[in-house]
Amino acid sequence: MKVALLYDRLRWEEKAILDALKSRGVDVEMVDAKVKVAVHGKLRDVGDIVLNRCVSHFRGLYWAAILEAEGIRVVNSFRTLLTGGDKLLTSLELLKAKIPTPKFVVAFTVEGALQALSEIGLPAVVKPVVGSWGRLLALLKDYEHAKAILEHREYLEPILHNIFYIQEYVDKPSRDIRSVVVGDEIVASIYRYAPPGEWRTNVALGGRAEACELSNDQKELILRAAKVINGEVVGVDCLESNRGLLINEINTTVEFKGAYSATGADVAGKIAEYLIREARR
């Protein structure tokens, strides 16, 4: 059996997964997605299964499509990455599945976005549809502040910045919940607390992680959300609200160093065992 680990940046997580696979006697092929050339008909020997850990959304997305066209099993799949890597597409799938999620509006011009604010209310949060680590998120506090932020985004180069995905601001206790899901199991859950002077809770921005004990209802909701996008190894981010738990985002290349540090859960080991089981099917 050979497992391929597709990456474009070797982080703590990729090294932990590599060690977990090797400790279980698995032959691992490390594939640098930035260097590897995709030649049709010459990729089949890359591995029996590929774990896609690309940080770049589009690089990972297209590599998944290429590998699946060669008949290779990829975790997470192209369809999962396509939906889970796009905040708007994720929100739409959650809505269709009647899974509680923050209210959102979408516009395609600054004028439309300012009009949309009258629908969602202020404060609100504008997010890029593709992106992670809390980058380019902005809290829109009032109309003039919102106008300045939106006009600035209009002139950012990538065309995706002209898709104005605006979400209600959920008044939460300065924290959110990140659950790491592997297959049908929640292997770790943490509270992520925003650092002083910051409203975003991302650990990459200095957020603090603590172990979180979920209720059975919360566990069921989180697993349902992962299933909506056929997520196999994902992070499900939730917000606590007076409407109950809301599914905020689903991360398809989940970082779990914070979850490991806070809970001691062997996330890398669970991922390795899942890949081994799937490769043997």
CATH classification at residue 155: 3.30.1490.20
At 269 the pLDDT is: 98
Last residue of a domain, one of 168, 193, 223: 168
Q: What is the pLDDT of residues 46-61, one digit of tens each?
A: 999 999 999 999 999 9
Predicted confidence band of residue 162 (pLDDT cuts 50, 70, 90): confident
Are 206 and 259 in the same domain?
Answer: yes
Between helix 143-154 and helix 110-120 the angle, nearest 10°, is 140
Q: What is the pLDDT of residues 101-116, one digit of tens each?
A: 999 999 999 999 999 8
Q: Does residue 23 form part of some domain?
A: yes
Q: Does residue 34 form part of some domain?
A: yes
H or E stretch at 152: helix 143-154
pLDDT of 157 above 60: no
Structure-token pair, residue 218: 């919360």
Q: Does residue 99 form part of some domain?
A: no
Tell me how far apart the alpha carbons of residues 114 and 146 are, in angstroms, rounded to a whole number: 8
At 200 the pLDDT is: 65
Contact yes or no for 164/153 (Cβ under 8 A): yes
CA angle 161, 76, 50 (to 5 degrees): 125
Are 254 and 222 in the same domain?
Answer: yes
Burial of 162 (0-12, 13-18, 19+ CB in 10 A): middle
Q: Taking phi first (over 0 means left), then psi (-120 to 50 degrees means alpha), and beta for anything else, what does residue 264 get?
A: left
pLDDT of 213 above 70: yes
The whole-angstrom distance between residue 51's C-alpha and the CA centroid of its chain comes to: 15
254-270 as b/e: b if 16+ CB within 10 A: bbbbbbbebbebebbbb
Q: Does residue 97 form part of some domain?
A: no
pLDDT of 156 above 80: no
Structure-token pair, residue 156: 């950012």
Burial of 217 (0-12, 13-18, 19+ CB in 10 A): exposed
Average pLDDT on 193-222 reads: 82
Going by C-beta distance under 8 Å and a sequence separation of 6 or more, which residues neighbour residue 153? Answer: 126, 136, 161, 162, 164
Structure-token pair, residue 262: 């806070």
Which range scores top for mean pLDDT: 6-15, 150-159, 160-169?
6-15
pTM of the model: 0.90
Length of the chain: 281
Domain residue limits at 108: 104-168
Q: What domain count does the chain have?
A: 3
Tell me how far apart the alpha carbons of residues 211 and 256 are, in angstroms, rounded to a whole number: 12
Are 182 and 239 in the same domain?
Answer: yes
Burial of 11 (0-12, 13-18, 19+ CB in 10 A): middle
pLDDT of 92 above 60: yes
At 5 the pLDDT is: 98
At 133 the pLDDT is: 59
